[in-house]
Amino acid sequence: MTVTTDLLLEATGVSKIYGAVVALKSASLAVRPGEVHALVGANGAGKSTLVKILTGVVHPDAGRIVVRGKERTVHSPAEARRGGLISVYQEPSLIPDLDIRANLRLTETPREPFRHWLGELGLADLDLSSLARRLPLATLRIIDLARALAIEPDVLMLDEMTAALPANLTERVLEVLGSLRGGDRSVIFISHRLIEIAAVCDRATVLREGETVGVVDVTAGSEEKIVELMLGQNVEALSARTADQAVTGSRARATTPRVSARSLSSGTRLQDASFDLYPGEVLGVVALEGQGQDELFDILAGSERPRSGELLVDGKPANFHHPADAIRAGLVFVAADRAEALLMQRSIRENIALPFSTRLRRWGLIDLGEEREKVDGAVATLQIDARAGGEVRRLSGGNQQKVTIARWVAGGVRTMLCFDPTRGIDIRTKTQIYRLLRDMAEAGAAILLYTSELKEVQLVCDRAIVIFGGRVVGEISAAEGDEPTLLRAAYNLRSEAAVPEGVAAMLASTSAGADASTPTGPGRSEVRQ
């Protein structure tokens, strides 16, 4: 077979098997010079594995990779790098204990281009002498991206680049990617957000269960096609509940709140947050990165104690010294970062059994029969693929997240605090999680859901509160909470104007301002005392 020279990168028949799990069956990918090429697929479809193979982190069992007409076997990331293939992973690859300058020296990144790209990405005034561990995740990811761009790779691979980014930075990233189109180099863009793909990508390769099932030219209306290919079946409506949600909402208000926060503050970020969470509702939390939502969830989950303010559970004051106290009061926490929640080398059974087995008052042996029953029940409820159940680290991201939820479902949920539970998860798993949250709310549980994906508010929540500058600045009902409204509210804008370009700079000045506490927002209803 002759190699077609108009392709920058071509991979054919790539496969990879881990023990019992087939990560890639037969994947192919063809990238033209100058295009932004989307790689999409449900979690576990093999996107990450394919990228790892292209960058030499993982060795394929079969398949060939051709770069600029020459067949390549990539043995290591360093070799891939020299060959012009660079990947920016979901986890920032900066050494936490070195400052940014030292990190750049470490990877021999040219300083000037790095500065240039950093500016393009909206972080022009970043202090290069700050330690990596002191910077927020979003900033680290931007630095990672600028560092990769500075080397001018032939093929830049971005794995869920926008997943942890606030909306303003996402916009900048997409702009930069758009500006790369039509040149000599290419970008492989992995994302679950179809809107972003529609915005910057030329073509999309769709993977399903380790196989390439189609290549789609991205045009208006191609999103449906992509989703269809990803799911391999007709797209189910994500939500069939908009009609009855008003009923749920009013029913919720009839009882005492499950959780009431009164002027909670903590650290420098959370200033004065008050809200009520009622049984039977899913309450959304909308906020830009770093508005105090992390601290709020830490307080509610018992990991941190508030500096001031009061927390009421079922109308009675609660004082949590340890997560065990919160769990006993029925407040359970689902984190976005699965590495923080799971015992990676232990089994699914142990991970699910962990909280409820250790919560038992008695010291005797764990009743294995009862435990297995509960674990099996939770595995079934969440439809966890337990084939690789011996060690949780062998599961796909979506299945891992389901395990973190299952551990609470197994013990019965009264109040669940979900912090961006669907970050970096495929549509099918997301839909399952949405449905589960709804079902739990219908059954009387109270659910607090922080989400970085604004459209989730309308899909799952009854209403949403908006946090800005450490304060709850607004409340929006699900019916009114379309993405533009929520975004404007998250930026604490009063007018109907669209989010302005230089909003990042403006944010920096207003977040310290005093008038942030003034409740605003079009759909805000009264705060109940």
Partner 1 sequence: MTAASLAARRRALDAVAPWARRNAWTLGLVGFLCLLLVYTKLIQASYDSSGIQGLAIGVLPLALAAVAQAVVVMSGGIDLSIGSMMAFTSVVAATMMKGQSQEFGVAVVLLVLVLGIVLGAVNGALVVLTKVPDIVVTLAMSFVWAGCALLVRAAPGGAASEWLRNLVLGSFINEWIPKSAIVLVVIVAVIWVPVARSKMGLSLYAIGSNKLAAFRSGIPVGRTKLFAYALTGLYSALAGLSLTASTGIGTPVPGPYTLMSVAAVVLGGVSLAGGRGGLFGPIVAVVVLQMIRTDMTFLSIDSNYAYVAQGLILVGVVMVGSFALMRRSRA
Binding of residue 366 to partner 1 (CB under 8 A): yes
> Each residue of 438-454: b (16+ CB within 10 Å) or e?
bebbeeebbbbbbbbeb
Of the candidate residues 106, 240, 246, 360, the single one contacting partner 1 (CB under 8 A): 360
**Stretch 276-315 residues interacting with partner 1 (CB under 8 A):** 301, 303
Which element (helix H / strand E) includes 215?
A: strand 211-217
Task: Give the integer Cα–Cα distance in Å for 287 and 293.
Answer: 7
Nearer to partner 1, 36 or 332 (CB): 332
Taking each helix axis as running N to C, give the angle between helix 222-231 and helix 427-442, from 0 to 180 degrees, rounded to the nearest 10: 80
> How near is the Cβ of 376 to partner 1 at its closest, in Å?
17
Q: Name the one range near partner 1 by CB under 8 A: 101-109, 251-259, 278-286, 389-397.
A: 389-397
Task: Give the integer Cα–Cα distance in Å for 277 and 476.
Answer: 14
Of the candidate residues 335, 375, 440, 454, the single one contacting partner 1 (CB under 8 A): 335
Nearer to partner 1, 126 or 375 (CB): 375
* # residues near partner 1 by CB under 8 A: 43
Q: Name the one range near partner 1 by CB under 8 A: 103-111, 173-181, 342-350, 498-506.
A: 342-350
Q: Name the one range near partner 1 by CB under 8 A: 121-129, 349-357, 372-380, 475-483.
A: 349-357
Q: Say if residue 36 is exposed, middle or buried (CB neighbours under 10 Å; 0-12, 13-18, 19+).
A: buried
Binding of residue 380 to partner 1 (CB under 8 A): no
Which element (helix H / strand E) includes 27?
A: strand 21-31
> How near is the Cβ of 79 to partner 1 at its closest, in Å?
14
Task: Give the integer Cα–Cα distance in Å for 489 and 494.
Answer: 7
Task: Give the integer Cα–Cα distance in Å for 396 and 392.
Answer: 9
Task: Give the integer Cα–Cα distance in Å for 395 and 387.
Answer: 9
What secondary structure does DSSP assign to 416-484, as a single string? EEEESTTTT--HHHHHHHHHHHHHHHHTT-EEEEE-SSTHHHHHH-SEEEEEETTEEEEEEETTT--HH
Nearer to partner 1, 95 or 360 (CB): 360
Nearer to partner 1, 417 or 486 (CB): 417
Of the candidate residues 165, 177, 327, 446, the single one contacting partner 1 (CB under 8 A): 327
Q: How many C-beta atoms lie closer than 10 Å to residue 299's C-beta?
A: 23
**Stretch 47-66 residues interacting with partner 1 (CB under 8 A):** 57-59
Residue 509 exposure: Cα atoms within 13 Å on the Cβ side: 4
Q: Name the one range near partner 1 by CB under 8 A: 170-178, 222-230, 350-358, 434-442.
A: 350-358
Binding of residue 377 to partner 1 (CB under 8 A): no
Q: Which residues bind partner 1 (CB under 8 A)?
A: 18-20, 22, 57-59, 301, 303, 322-324, 326-328, 333, 335, 339-346, 350, 353-355, 357-360, 363-366, 368, 387, 389-391, 407
